[in-house]
């Protein structure tokens, strides 16, 4: 929104003759502005609203709205004077109450919780900070990725029970790097072991590459290959199709009922 003292913006023209006439009318002689009969029921509601609100709010907020009713009647009197009237109608009082009620809502909203005690955040423990940094870097983090962000020394981190500290060397002449990781639930080592060097890995791989003689016990315990055909059930033969029923055989000379005669 442009400032009022900005020379590059021209203010809209306002016809203030009626307002000037109302000011002249209000200051010509002392006047008494009173409530009209139709505004008295609303005035009782305004006073009750201010009283209940002041009793229900805490003292730190009630002090800002304790003169709600008085401010409402003042605004309504200004509206009546702007129309050169000595009587505050119900419409004028309702408009004034709407304005003051909005100011009350803003005051309560702004002062809400202003005097309540601040809840102090509990700082994270050192181990929690270190764990968060390690998880951020995929489960393993160097000292330069952890120590500057947790505000601790390497000796302090090494004393944490849930953190494993290892020393790794990139090469024969490289500077060793301190690596932090989180101790697993199944980890049985309580002391971190230094990482193996390139020469150690070569010796280990050469030992595994040598052919080892097969002992008689290993030969006996070696798994035997069994053909799967031995466990396959015999294929089921296709069912023989049922023969079609034959028609009645022709009667011969033999009559089985003749023996019953």
Residues 102 and 176 in one domain: no
For residue 157, what are the contacts with CB-CB under 8 A and spacing of at least 6?
126, 130, 146, 147, 150, 163, 165, 180
Residue 10 maps to a domain: no
**Element (DSSP H or E) covering residue 149:** helix 143-150
What span, in angstroms and rounded, lies between the C-alpha atoms of 190 and 75?
Answer: 78
Q: Is the pLDDT of residue 244 over 50?
A: yes
Indicate the average pLDDT of the chain: 75
Provide the domain count of the chain: 2
**210 located within any domain:** no
Provide φ and ψ at 165, rounded to 5°.
-115, 125
Q: What pLDDT does residue 127 have? A: 86
105 and 143 co-located in one domain:
no
- The residue from 70, 85, 111 where one domain ends is 111
Q: In which band, very low, low, confident or very high, does the pLDDT at 6 lie, cut at 50, 70 and 90?
A: low
Residue 22 belongs to domain spanning: 17-111
Q: What is the pLDDT of residues 108-124, one digit of tens each?
A: 888 876 555 556 667 78
21 and 104 assigned to the same domain: yes
Q: Are residues 25 and 106 in the same domain?
A: yes
* Beta strands at 34-35 and 87-88: parallel, antiparallel or unpaired: parallel
Render pLDDT for 204-239 as a digit per residue (tens, 0 to 9).
445 444 444 445 545 555 545 445 444 455 556 666
Q: Residue 76 above 90 pLDDT? A: yes
Looking at residue 3, its pLDDT comes to 56
The pTM for the full model equals 0.41
Closest CA to 53 of 41, 71, 37, 39: 71
Contact 166, 192 (CB under 8 A): yes
132 pLDDT exceeds 70?
Answer: yes
Q: What pLDDT score does 122 carry?
A: 73
pLDDT recorded at residue 168: 82
Confidence (pLDDT) at 260: 55
The better pLDDT of the pair 162, 190 is held by 162
For residues 134 and 105, membership in a common domain is answered with: no
Question: Considering 163, 181, 196, which residue would you say is the last residue of a domain?
Answer: 196
Q: Angle at the Cα of 108 (from 106 to 109), degrees rounded to 5?
A: 65
Q: Are residues 25 and 102 in the same domain?
A: yes
Higher pLDDT pick, 193 / 81: 81
CA distances in angstroms from 18 to 88, 96, 142, listed in the order given = 19, 20, 79
Of residues 54 and 36, more confidence is placed in 36
CA distance 230 to 228: 5
Answer left, alpha or beta for residue 256, where phi above 0 means left and psi between -120 and 50 means alpha: alpha
- Please tell me the predicted confidence (pLDDT) of residue 236: 60
Clarify whether residues 68 and 132 are in a common domain.
no
Flag whether pLDDT at 104 surpasses 60: yes
Confidence of residue 86 (pLDDT cuts 50, 70, 90): very high
Assess whether pLDDT exceeds 50 at residue 185: no
Asked which of 82, 111, 140 is the last residue of a domain, the reply is: 111
**What is the pLDDT, as a whole number, of residue 166?**
86
Whether residue 143 is found in the same domain as residue 70: no
């Amino acid at each position: 929104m442009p400032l009022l003292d900005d020379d590059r913006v021209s203010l809209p023209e306002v016809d203030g003759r009626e307002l000037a006439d109302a000011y002249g009318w209000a200051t010509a002689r002392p006047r008494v502005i009173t409530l009209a009969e139709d505004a008295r029921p609303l005035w009782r509601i305004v006073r009750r609203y201010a009283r209940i609100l002041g009793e229900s709010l805490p003292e730190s907020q009630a002090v800002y709205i304790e003169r709600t009713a008085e401010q409402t009647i003042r605004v309504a009197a200004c509206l009546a004077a702007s129309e050169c009237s000595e009587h505050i109608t119900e419409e004028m009082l309702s408009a004034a109450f709407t304005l003051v009620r909005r100011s009350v809502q803003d005051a309560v909203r702004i002062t809400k919780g202003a005097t309540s005690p601040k809840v102090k955040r509990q700082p994270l423990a050192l181990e929690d900070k270190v764990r968060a940094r390690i998880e951020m870097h995929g489960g393993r983090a160097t000292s330069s990725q952890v120590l500057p962000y947790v505000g601790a020394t390497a000796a302090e981190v090494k004393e944490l029970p849930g953190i494993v500290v290892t020393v790794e060397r990139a090469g024969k002449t490289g500077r060793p790097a301190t690596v932090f990781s989180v101790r697993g639930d199944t980890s049985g080592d309580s002391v971190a072991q230094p990482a193996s060097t390139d020469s150690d890995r070569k010796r280990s791989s050469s030992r595994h590459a040598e052919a080892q003689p097969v002992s008689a016990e290993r030969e006996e315990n070696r798994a035997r290959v069994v053909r799967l055909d031995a466990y396959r059930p015999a294929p089921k033969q296709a069912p023989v199709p049922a023969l079609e029923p034959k028609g009645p055989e022709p009667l011969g000379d033999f009559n089985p009922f003749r023996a019953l005669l």
